[in-house]
Amino acid sequence: MAQSEAGLRIIFEHAQQAMAIVRPDGTVQAMNRAGRALLPADTDPVGRPFADLPFWSSDREATTRLLAEAVATCLGGSVYRTTARATLPDGRIANLDFSLWPVRSDDTVFAIIAEARDLPDAGA
């Protein structure tokens, strides 16, 4: 089992898309290398509310509402998907295909996977 978990961790860390594991309460449990690349170098996302991470829109209230809706959608068992804008550490704005999907065990959502993929032509 430990070897299997280690293998999954390696795959998670090396995924090309930004990924985070978010607890049902909205806090970050883990974030892969591509996800951490969206954050300033000194930012540790683990244990922080996902909505408070610095790459989201400067409109904190709108971001909090959007992510609360997304988490509620996942806790109801559905996938949430939208396009989002993120501010990168160098100040550039990235257009992202952003999704949250529930991870269940025995019909209980125990984690939410957040994924973001760059949409380079979306801002053109």
- CATH 3.30.450.20 for the 2-118 domain, yes or no: yes
pTM of the predicted model, to two decimals?
A: 0.84
DSSP sequence for 2-24: HHHHHHHHHHHHH-SSEEEEE-T
Q: What is the pLDDT of residue 91?
A: 84
Q: What is the pLDDT of residue 57?
A: 67
Handedness of CA 123, 90, 32, 111 (dihedral sign): negative
Residue ranges per domain, the chain?
2-118
Report the SS3 class of residue 40. coil
pLDDT-derived band of residue 123, with 50, 70 and 90 as boundaries?
A: low
Task: Note whether 38 and 79 are within 8 A (CB).
Answer: no
Q: What is the pLDDT of residue 1?
A: 62
Residues in the chain: 124
